[in-house]
């Protein structure tokens, strides 16, 4: 069957169309993506502005039309932290549903972590042993750990690269004192969760998903996206520690000139790098592997698992 998964995130609205069958690997057939940056369209009261709602409705409508054009039998629409935390979330969801037909399911932070973990487990298989997963989104950081498909521990922290950039790193390049203050904040937030995971023992394999980790790995010398999904890509803590001060000293335009860094994501790469560095340090990770699958694939896999047996 042909499925569409519509991800309304803090940075983008992304429709992924796949040909999927229970027990088989979902095969990407089409992708539609629009940079929306919902986290930056909030007013002082934490509500998505009227202009932001109009833009979201228009963008979701275009994505739903693309799903229809590509022959999707079903579309699985969901929203993450930007909509979840908006003070006018109910209004936003109602307008999107009434004007586009997309009934957005708002995932909790823990749901995000668990579904992303499922995708990583299916990608790496049982032989990977105990997995520690890290995922940096626009609005939040997800961490999950376990040996099965459902993690033993899963948390979501308000440490997304877009959120932190908008709230704590206004300069371009950012002020040194702001970078130091953000570094302290990020480490204090992550440190509170370390004990929850440490009781399960040391992981056998540490993996990361998200655009932020992929860009950091590419800057540090990992293979290009064009080289394919099945090329192993790693990021070492030592390489990241070397790059963090360099990134912080650059303007967004200069960062956009680095390998694999998009113009849209360049402004928030410093915040993302600080979160990645802190997580790897506090969880004592020397090297992690980039996982090509993430939340969208997890949503698809869960949907396929719930299909009745033929």
CATH code of 2-106, in short, is 3.30.420.40
So what's the pLDDT on residue 43?
82
| Phi–psi pair at 5, nearest 5 degrees | -120, 125
> Tokens 């908006």 label which residue?
86
Percentage of the chain modeled with pLDDT above 70: 99
Residues of the chain with CATH 3.30.420.40: 2-106
- Residues 248-275, mean pLDDT to the nearest whole number: 96
Which pLDDT band, with edges at 50, 70 and 90, does 38 fall under? confident
So what's the pLDDT on residue 218?
97
| HEC string for the chain | CEEEEEEECCCEEEEEEEECCCCCCCEEEEEEEEECCHHHCECCCCCECHHHHHHHHHHHHHHHHHHHHCCCCEEEEEECHHHHCCCCHHHHHHHHHHHHCCCCEECCHHHHHHHHHHHHHHHHCHHHCCEEEEEECCCCEEEEEECCCCCCEEEEECCCHHHHHHHHCCCCCCCHHHHHHHHHHHHHHHHHHHHHHHCCCCCCEEEEECHHHHHHHHHCCCCCHHHCCCCCCEEEHHHHHHHHHHHHHCCHHHHCCCCCCCCCCHHHHHHHHHHHHHHHHHCCCCEEEECCCCHHHHHHHHHHHCCCCC
CB neighbourhood size of 203 (10 A):
21
So what's the pLDDT on residue 23?
81
So what's the pLDDT on residue 129?
97
So what's the pLDDT on residue 310?
55
Residues of the chain with CATH 3.30.420.150: 109-295
- Residues 207-231, mean pLDDT to the nearest whole number: 94
Flag the least confident range among 82-86, 241-245, 284-288.
Answer: 82-86
So what's the pLDDT on residue 107?
96
d(CA 298, CA 235): 23
* In the predicted structure, residue 282 carries a pLDDT above the cut 80: yes
Q: Compute the CA torsion angle 274, 193, 197, 270 (nearest 10 deg).
A: -10
Which pLDDT band, with edges at 50, 70 and 90, does 44 fall under? confident
* In the predicted structure, residue 66 carries a pLDDT above the cut 90: yes
pLDDT single digits (tens) 141-170? 999 999 999 999 999 999 999 999 999 999
So what's the pLDDT on residue 21?
87
Q: How much is the pTM?
A: 0.94
DSSP per position, 132-148: EEEEE-SS-EEEEEESS
Q: Is the dihedral of CA 143, 148, 150, 153 positive or negative?
A: negative
- Residues 264-284, mean pLDDT to the nearest whole number: 97
So what's the pLDDT on residue 77?
97
* In the predicted structure, residue 294 carries a pLDDT above the cut 60: yes
Residue-averaged pLDDT of the chain: 95
* In the predicted structure, residue 113 carries a pLDDT above the cut 70: yes
d(CA 41, CA 157): 20
So what's the pLDDT on residue 133?
98
What CATH number does domain 109-295 carry, 3.40.50.300, 3.40.50.261, 3.30.420.150, 3.30.1180.10?
3.30.420.150
Percentage of the chain modeled with pLDDT above 90: 87
């Amino acid at each position: 069957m042909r499925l569409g998964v519509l991800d309304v995130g803090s940075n983008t609205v992304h429709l992924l169309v796949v040909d999927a069958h229970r027990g088989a690997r979902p095969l990407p057939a089409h992708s539609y993506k629009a940079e929306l940056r919902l986290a930056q369209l909030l007013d002082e009261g934490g509500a998505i502005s009227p202009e932001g709602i109009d833009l979201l409705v228009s963008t979701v409508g275009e994505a739903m039309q693309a799903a229809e054009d590509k022959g999707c039998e079903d579309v699985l629409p969901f929203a993450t932290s930007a909509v979840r935390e908006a003070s006018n979330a109910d209004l936003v969801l109602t307008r999107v549903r009434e004007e586009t037909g997309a009934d957005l399911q708002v995932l909790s932070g823990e749901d995000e972590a668990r579904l992303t973990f499922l995708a990583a487990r299916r990608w790496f298989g049982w032989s990977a042993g105990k997995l520690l997963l890290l995922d940096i989104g626009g609005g939040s950081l997800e961490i999950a750990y376990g040996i099965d498909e459902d993690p033993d521990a899963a948390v979501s922290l308000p440490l997304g690269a877009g959120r932190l950039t908008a709230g704590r790193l206004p300069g371009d390049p950012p002020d040194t004192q702001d970078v130091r203050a953000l570094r302290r904040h990020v480490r204090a937030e992550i440190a509170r969760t370390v004990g929850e995971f440490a009781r399960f023992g040391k992981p056998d394999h540490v993996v990361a998903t998200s655009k932020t980790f992929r860009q950091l790995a590419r800057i540090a010398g990992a293979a290009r996206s064009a080289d394919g999904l099945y090329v192993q890509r790693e990021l070492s803590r030592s390489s990241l520690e070397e790059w963090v001060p360099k990134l912080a000293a650059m303007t967004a335009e200069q960062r956009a000139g680095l390998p694999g860094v998009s113009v849209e994501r360049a402004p928030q790469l410093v915040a993302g790098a600080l979160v990645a560095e802190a997580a790897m340090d506090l969880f004592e990770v020397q090297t992690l592997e980039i996982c090509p699958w993430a939340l969208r694939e997890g949503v698809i896999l869960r949907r396929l698992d719930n299909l009745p047996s033929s």
